[in-house]
Amino acid sequence: MVYTNWDRLELFWIMEGTGKYICNGIVYPVRPGDAVVCNSGMAHGMKSDTRNGFRCIRIEAQQVQFPHMQENCLVPLSYYPVIHRTGQEERLEALFFRILAAYQRHTDTNALWELLALLCQTIQGQFPAEPLNIGWQAVWYMDRHYMECELKPDAVADSLGVNQYSMARTVKQMTGYTPLQYLNRRRVGAAQSLLLQTEDSVQEIAAAAGFDSTKRFSNIFLRQIGVLPQAYRSILGERRMSGS
């Protein structure tokens, strides 16, 4: 199931189960001990690898404002929204449980802000400390540089100093997409957010999302989403206004 949280930030702590977190069409592998951050306005969902599904803690937050970020947003578009292998697992888990225990009583807001600050700090600093496999390196690189229209899969491999075919095979195994498919979906996902959160023209959004032409952007967007960008903005904008 995929849905959109229009007016709130959502946080997840994965306790049991492995699978995928899908956000704006991009697939991120998740496992126990991972924290997931979903900004307001993101189309997202979870897909388990097994019939048992996930066991997780889900927390909603509103009126969250961090410097240089839109309200109820914690993850910059170019950053990875899933946190794993941080060395902060015990502290993160304790904060999630502390907030969960106080959730019905609407108390202990200090724990929520402590958690948000820790997540923000961890997201913006994750991955540099330990070596990653080729697939993670490529996904991380594309998430950081997708807005550069000249970026192609071969350029990703060259920048990382890895074999293009090994990289492509690993990315496909991890995400279900080839590097080019992943890159296009990452760009379309960013464009979806911009279409709903800004009044920029389709041409401006195409360039901001990393597409080298508006026509190519519209064709790829139509193929992935099923409607053209302007129609998507109109349809989702009306649903948002109606509260559906």
What would the pLDDT profile of 169-210 be if each residue is shown by its tens digit?
988 887 788 999 999 999 998 898 888 888 999 999 999 999
pTM: 0.59
Model pLDDT, residue 129? 40
**Cβ neighbours for 83, distance < 8 A, ≥ 6 positions apart:** 34, 35, 36, 37, 92, 119, 122, 123, 126
Q: What is the mean pLDDT of residues 12-36?
A: 85
Based on the number of CB atoms within 10 Å of its own CB, is 172 exposed (0-12), middle (13-18) or buried (19 or more)? middle
* Cα 183 from Cα 105, distance rounded (Å): 43
**What percentage of residues in the chain have a pLDDT greater than 70?**
84
- Tell me the pLDDT band of 48, cut-offs 50, 70 and 90: confident
Instruction: Quote the mean pLDDT of the chain.
Output: 82
**Which residue has better confidence, 92 or 77?**
92
Options 1.10.150.20, 3.40.50.720, 3.90.1150.10, 2.60.120.280; CATH of 3-125:
2.60.120.280
- Tell me the pLDDT band of 27, cut-offs 50, 70 and 90: confident
- Tell me the pLDDT band of 150, cut-offs 50, 70 and 90: very high
Contact indicator for 175, 21 with CB cutoff of 8 Å: no
Q: What is the mean pLDDT of residues 95-124?
A: 75
Model pLDDT, residue 69? 78
Closest CA to 129 of 174, 160, 81, 85: 85
Helix or strand (DSSP H, E) at 204: helix 202-208
Where exactly are the structural domains of the chain?
A: 3-125, 134-242
Contact indicator for 207, 62 with CB cutoff of 8 Å: no
Model pLDDT, residue 105? 59
**CA dihedral for 115, 118, 123, 126, sign (positive or negative):** negative
Model pLDDT, residue 179? 94
Q: What is the mean pLDDT of residues 61-83?
A: 80
pLDDT above 80 for 26: no
- Tell me the pLDDT band of 75, cut-offs 50, 70 and 90: confident
Model pLDDT, residue 130? 42
**Cβ neighbours for 154, distance < 8 A, ≥ 6 positions apart:** 164
- Tell me the pLDDT band of 154, cut-offs 50, 70 and 90: very high
Radius of gyration of the chain (CA): 18
Look up the CATH number of domain 134-242. Answer: 1.10.10.60
pLDDT above 80 for 5: no
Closest CA to 31 of 47, 20, 46: 20
* Cα 90 from Cα 24, distance rounded (Å): 29
**Which residue has better confidence, 3 or 168?**
168
pLDDT above 80 for 121: no
